[in-house]
Structure 1
Amino acid sequence: MESNKEENGVRLARNRRGFLGLAATATAAMAGVAAAQGTRGAAGFAKAGAAGGVLDVAIIGAGLAGLTAARDLQRAGCESFVVLEARDRVGGRTLNHDLGNGYFSEAGGQWIGPGQTAILDLCRELNVGTFPTWWQGKTTMLAGGARATAESDGGFGTDAKLRHELEELAKLVPCGAPWKSPRAAEFDAMSFGDWLARKKLSPEDQFSWTLGATLTTGATPGKISLLHYLGLINSAGCNYERLEAIKGGAQETRIAGGAQVLSTRMAEGLAGKVRLSSPVLRIENWKSGPAAIHTPGGVIRARSVIVALSPALCHQIAFDPPLPERRREMQRRWPAFAPMRKTAHVYKKAFWREKGLNGWVVQAKGPVLWAYDNSPQDLSFGVINAFVSSAGLPADPKAASVELSRIYAEALGEEALHPVACHDHDWAKADRWSLTCTSPIPPGFLTRFGDVLHPPIGRLIWSGTETADIWATSMDGAVRSGHKAALQALHAVAPKTEQS
């Protein structure tokens, strides 16, 4: 019976993916990070303004998109700007757990890969190193009372014929504007789940495709538009494995110091320009300008406004006059039901590697969607990170840690029962300034609202990874959107004689 369990589980274990996407050179000591990131509150706004107290540009959001835009403005010679951040930190949906002695584990976005040239360029400019994600060894699959292992090749093992079919369809769906596809109405009328249902998949393959979509988009295939999913594949060069895999894929590379270090270093180079704990409550006169941007600490006036936020967060801001109806409705309906919860278990060493295991754990049924080796490159200690389901774990982090340790022990060995530290970050409970880690676009949404996602309105310029023309929803997409927004803002505030 045990050998049958092993045989039935091997295919499941193989069908697994990797995941879930001119600079300051000195790294601030931890005691000085807050000062390097920015000034808290609204103090100093008047001094930041140009003549008459009106800035050229105000940027809302100090994540990768907003800080990239600010950095581009500064490098172009524009100093009349400010970055307003609601949180008491920079980084947006990237966040590091401090593991001590200069080591970090990511609670949010963390991976980059081939084709993601914008963020790779940013790493080089900021003197931030990268290193390979670990995938070598055997993956462990837990299904009921069965445990199976299979050698990983750094990819998925999903059906090649089905992947090819998806890739061919993706060629018809431009990633920056899926709604412009000649078959947009057809693809947006169905979910990815509907499409898979037509393929009469085995339970094993259905599990694999479902898990991959859930980790990538934040929702099961039945909740995401086929049009949206094809656009993501198109963004990866119409290569499904480039989107999903570790080896050769968008999860191939990690960022030394954790992904949040990119935002921290950009903020260091923008000393005095970043204002933390400054949520934007209201924007007035956005049509003709100068726009009046209301925060709890005062009002900022700017000729142009870059809104580097998820559309769902844009909906939390009051606009006077109201935004056009379809833009307003798009923000109200933007999917924000994929907050995700990510954990980190720290061990004295990566003991699983000594056993030939790669640290990957997948449960057919249970709270662990996918656990993976997130140890530092020098192996000073071992780290198992996981994407977990809040519905299957206690809300209390300590109790959740005990349950996860038990699961890891079943998969990796008894040593897993004794972590030296645990971290648990539930984005749904973190703060009101996140709402969602990614955006699982449902059927019917893009063909109805997609065309209002990008175009500036009045003095408002929309940014953030959701607006990227390439690699939307990833960190690379966020950086690209920041570059684009900075160019739009520079054009908007340039004298007319310069524009002619």
Structure 2
Amino acid sequence: MTGRGNNNKFSRRNFLQVAAGATAFTALPAARAFAADEKATGASDHVVDVAILGGGLAGLTAARDLQRAGCESFVVLEAMDRVGGRTLNHDLGNDQFSEAGGQWIGPGQTAIADLTRELGIGTFPTYYQGKTTFMAGDGQASVDLGGTFGTDMKIAAKLDELARGVPSGAPWKAERAAELDKMSLGDWLAQQGFSPEDRIGWSISSFLTGGVMPAKMGFLHFLSMINSADSRYDRLDSIKDSAQETRISGGSQVLSLKMAEALGDKVRTASPVRRIRDWDQSVVTLETDTGIVHARQIILAMSPAMCQQIDFDPVLPTPRQELQRQWPAHSPARKVAHVYKKPFWRDKGLNGHIMQAQGPIFWAYDNSPEDASTGVINAFVAQSMLPADHQQAEKILSEIYARALGEEALHPIQYHDHDWGQDPWILSCVSAIPPGFWTQHGEALHPSVGRLIWSGTETAGIWAGYMDGAVRSGHRAALQALNNLRRSA
């Protein structure tokens, strides 16, 4: 897939709906057959049809699909003591939340939008009305960007044209893959004759989109991300009509919380899988911190980098081993939230958005609740430029906010600080794919190995790396597991 117009979106969405409906009818007899077989042979109640590793959006979506298709023989094993994966809410009190991880949805992200509606969860627009403040050294300026990040449209047009030839789910299959994968985004930008000011803007954009500076971002990968957004860079890197346009009522983690609640005791938290044995046999054995699990199909709804922490016996095929070993896990991200009595900056014609060329803030933005009953400024910050001590970090950031927004910023009523790099079960928020990676390792990303089905947002056909990609990958993995079970019945 390259460019995707409205007709393609419509047909793809209808296909998924039809496939889900067909699965509900065709998989049910197979699920009943397995249950009857176990009862007749006394095989054991300890063998489940499907074991899902990961209780984030991908894993829980897969579990929900299995249950809706009539399969009740499954378990979700989550290493952490909570569900949600790379989505996490800070509870601000009074039923208000601020997100520490992934949080936005936008045009074309139909999978997560559909899930939100099905769960009865509302959405509301990201606030961007007013002026954005740019800071560099002692200077600053406030500009009304109208919901964009001030993208150079000529450069965006060049990127759009190149992105049309790079399939988002399989960039290594692009006709010019070998050529484009040799360079970084920084290499390509250097050829465009940018001014130093323009380079600063692109550096911020690269970090927010992919977790690294342009010099470490593979150009082929960057183009595949644009391809997900209908090959329109402005849909990837803005707020209005873009991937950052819409927020989820109750915070993004609420999606996983509601799915897990409905699944009940089929979800086991604090159950990391340490070893997977006999993945090439009819029944696979998983060794977890809470006991042994036997299953016929395994869905690994987790980052390839985290798969590397599991001991596989027998060892995985070399291409898959190398993909996991080389998968980048160096984009941890640190995200903070200042909470105020009200969003005072709005009364001053400011939107609360701050970009800093020389300092710890990549991007700060208004993350207040829909009713604006409190004011919240969230920010992506540079770990190396802030002390680890939260009290000190809060003071430094408050002083920067005071320069940009006013003296009221010196007096937050709450401060929240989450460094994803300190979470042993996450390590990296996004996958900053470097130059040369896809053409060398891409072919090993999707194919299942024995009874192992690879899932997680990184495997999505479109919107890989986003919440929408996670949901899509969960749908695909569940369908694949059900079809495998039917064929082996």
TM-score (norm 2): 0.91
- Residue 127 of structure 2 is matched in structure 1 by 134
How far apart, in 1, do the equivalents of 2:323 and 2:51 lie? 23
- Residue 325 of structure 1 is matched in structure 2 by 318
How far apart, in 1, do the equivalents of 2:488 and 2:99 lie? 45
- Residue 71 of structure 1 is matched in structure 2 by 64
Unaligned stretches of 5+ residues in structure 1 = 1-45
- Residue 472 of structure 1 is matched in structure 2 by 464
- Residue 10 of structure 1 is matched in structure 2 by none
Residues matched between the structures, number: 450
1:231 aligns to what SS in structure 2? Answer: helix
Aligned 8 A contact 1:158 1:205 in 2 = no
How far apart, in 1, do the equivalents of 2:51 and 2:158 lie? 45
- Residue 383 of structure 2 is matched in structure 1 by 390
How far apart, in 2, do the equivalents of 1:212 and 1:494 lie? 46
Give the deviation of 1:265 after TM superposition.
0.2
- Residue 447 of structure 2 is matched in structure 1 by 455
How far apart, in 1, do the equivalents of 2:347 and 2:269 lie? 45
1:272 aligns to what SS in structure 2? Answer: helix
| 1:419 maps onto 2:406 in alignment | no
Paired AA for residue 238 in structure 1: S
2:162 aligns to what SS in structure 1? Answer: helix
Aligned 8 A contact 1:280 1:294 in 2 = yes
Paired AA for residue 452 in structure 2: L
Give the deviation of 1:139 after TM superposition.
0.6
Paired AA for residue 459 in structure 1: R
Please list, as runs of the form range in 1=range in 2, the aligned pairs for 1:219-234 lying within 5 A after superposition. 219-234=212-227
| 1:305 maps onto 2:294 in alignment | no
Give the deviation of 1:51 after TM superposition.
4.1
| 1:379 maps onto 2:369 in alignment | no
1:269 aligns to what SS in structure 2? Answer: helix
| 1:56 maps onto 2:46 in alignment | no
How far apart, in 2, do the equivalents of 1:310 and 1:318 lie? 15
Aligned 8 A contact 2:334 2:380 in 1 = yes
How far apart, in 1, do the equivalents of 2:358 and 2:290 lie? 48
How far apart, in 2, do the equivalents of 1:496 and 1:426 lie? 44
CA RMSD of aligned residues (A): 1.3
- Residue 433 of structure 1 is matched in structure 2 by 425
Give the deviation of 1:314 after TM superposition.
0.1
Change in CA separation of 1:65 and 1:455 when aligned onto 2, cut-off 3 Å: same
| 1:486 maps onto 2:481 in alignment | no
Of 245, 258, 261, the match for 2:254: 261
Higher mean C-alpha displacement, 50-59 vs 138-147: 50-59
1:213 aligns to what SS in structure 2? Answer: helix
1:271-295 CA distances to partner (integer Å, 9 max, x unpaired)?
Answer: 1100010000000000123000000
1:217-268 CA distances to partner (integer Å, 9 max, x unpaired)?
Answer: 0001110111000000001100001111100000000000000000000001
- Residue 367 of structure 1 is matched in structure 2 by 360
How far apart, in 2, do the equivalents of 1:76 and 1:86 lie? 26
2:168 aligns to what SS in structure 1? Answer: coil
Paired AA for residue 219 in structure 1: V
Give the deviation of 1:191 after TM superposition.
0.3
Aligned 8 A contact 1:361 1:370 in 2 = yes
Paired AA for residue 461 in structure 2: D
Give the deviation of 1:156 after TM superposition.
2.5
Aligned 8 A contact 1:57 1:304 in 2 = yes
1:424 aligns to what SS in structure 2? Answer: strand
How far apart, in 1, do the equivalents of 2:214 and 2:282 lie? 43
Paired AA for residue 66 in structure 2: L
Aligned 8 A contact 1:50 1:56 in 2 = no
Paired AA for residue 96 in structure 1: N
Aligned 8 A contact 2:151 2:234 in 1 = no
Aligned 8 A contact 1:98 1:105 in 2 = yes
How far apart, in 1, do the equivalents of 2:160 and 2:43 lie? 50
Give the deviation of 1:50 after TM superposition.
8.1
- Residue 397 of structure 2 is matched in structure 1 by 404
Change in CA separation of 1:133 and 1:297 when aligned onto 2, cut-off 3 Å: same
How far apart, in 1, do the equivalents of 2:203 and 2:486 lie? 49
How far apart, in 2, do the equivalents of 1:495 and 1:312 lie? 31
2:264 aligns to what SS in structure 1? Answer: coil
Paired AA for residue 319 in structure 1: F
Please list, as runs of the form range in 1=range in 2, the aligned pairs for 1:29-428 lying within 5 A after superposition. 51-428=44-421
Give the deviation of 1:157 after TM superposition.
2.1
How far apart, in 1, do the equivalents of 2:358 and 2:458 lie? 31
How far apart, in 1, do the equivalents of 2:43 and 2:269 lie? 21
1:136-169 CA distances to partner (integer Å, 9 max, x unpaired)?
Answer: 1001111111121111210122221111110000
Please list, as runs of the form range in 1=range in 2, the aligned pairs for 1:20-35 lying within 5 A after superposition. none
Aligned 8 A contact 2:206 2:214 in 1 = yes
- Residue 36 of structure 1 is matched in structure 2 by none
Paired AA for residue 487 in structure 1: L
Give the deviation of 1:214 after TM superposition.
0.7
Aligned 8 A contact 1:50 1:80 in 2 = no
How far apart, in 1, do the equivalents of 2:133 and 2:237 lie? 19
How far apart, in 2, do the equivalents of 1:157 and 1:403 lie? 27
1:380-430 CA distances to partner (integer Å, 9 max, x unpaired)?
Answer: 11000000001111110111000000000011000000000000001111x
Aligned 8 A contact 1:341 1:424 in 2 = yes
How far apart, in 2, do the equivalents of 1:489 and 1:451 lie? 21
Paired AA for residue 241 in structure 1: D
Paired AA for residue 191 in structure 2: R
How far apart, in 2, do the equivalents of 1:448 and 1:354 lie? 53
How far apart, in 1, do the equivalents of 2:119 and 2:97 lie? 18
Higher mean C-alpha displacement, 299-308 vs 156-165: 156-165
How far apart, in 2, do the equivalents of 1:398 and 1:159 lie? 38
How far apart, in 1, do the equivalents of 2:477 and 2:155 lie? 37
Paired AA for residue 391 in structure 1: S
Give the deviation of 1:193 after TM superposition.
0.4
Paired AA for residue 264 in structure 2: A
How many percent of aligned residue pairs carry the same amino acid?
64
Paired AA for residue 88 in structure 1: D
1:452-499 CA distances to partner (integer Å, 9 max, x unpaired)?
Answer: 0011110000000000001000000000000000000001111557xx
